[in-house]
Amino acid sequence: MTKVLLVDDDPFFLRISEDFFKPYRDIKVETAGSPFEAIPKLQTGCYDAVVSDYEMPGMNGITFLKKIREQSINVPFILFTGRDNKDLMFEAMENGASAYLRKGGDPEIQFSTLSRQIEEATREKGGMN
């Protein structure tokens, strides 16, 4: 079982994400409404991956990634954003993101792609149980 922390400031997106992940029985999703809520959860060390939005109040996804890396939290990090920006993608990867995925389009395809990225990132890190 892979335990994923999904971080997004949109409560509706968090709810529908939990629903779309239900068919993926090997992925357990927990949510946080902000990086500030997520950091204490990550400090417990019980997550195999983080999936984070980019645009959030108070701290964007790249700053969030840098903060958790500064604290030696080295779980795979996937930036999952509505922004289609190559510079942002490169910045995410340069700061240790495992993947950059764009939100939008068919939700079933989007979450299928995201689940594969989670599986690949955790397998590379040795986190698939």
Q: Who contacts 98 (Cβ-Cβ below 8 Å, separation ≥6)?
A: 49, 76, 77, 78, 117, 120, 121, 124, 125
Q: Who contacts 112 (Cβ-Cβ below 8 Å, separation ≥6)?
A: none
Residues of the domain holding 105? 2-125
Q: What is the DSSP letter of 15?
A: H
pLDDT digits (tens, 9 = 90+) for 75-125: 999 999 988 889 999 999 999 999 999 998 898 999 999 999 999 999 887
CATH number of the CATH domain containing 64? 3.40.50.2300
Element (H, E) at 108: helix 107-125
pLDDT > 80? residue 32: yes
pTM (2 d.p.):
0.93
Query: How far is Cα of residue 58 from the mean position of the Cα atoms in its chain?
Result: 17
Q: How many domains does the chain have?
A: 1
Query: How far is Cα of residue 65 from the mean position of the Cα atoms in its chain?
Result: 10
